[in-house]
Amino acid sequence: MEFALRFDYTVVGGESVSFDGRLAHRYRNESDKQTEIILSVTPPNPYAPR
């Protein structure tokens, strides 16, 4: 699976990514194989700098 956030990253099985969801991002499966993505979205932190 390819994950893009300013740069493209190839994420392989067992790896994870963490990022600020307010930034533009995308996911893309460039292979012919089925890809499963598990997302965990948490509420924004009211004390985080903006």
The answer to the question of residue 8 being in a domain is yes
The answer to the question of residue 48 being in a domain is no
The answer to the question of residue 43 being in a domain is no
Per-residue pLDDT of 10-23, as tens digits, reads 888 889 888 888 88
Residue 47 has pLDDT above 80, yes or no: no
CA 23/CA 29 separation, integer angstroms: 20
Query: What pTM value is reported for the model?
Result: 0.62
Q: Which domain holds residue 27?
A: 1-15+22-32
The answer to the question of residue 10 being in a domain is yes
The answer to the question of residue 42 being in a domain is no
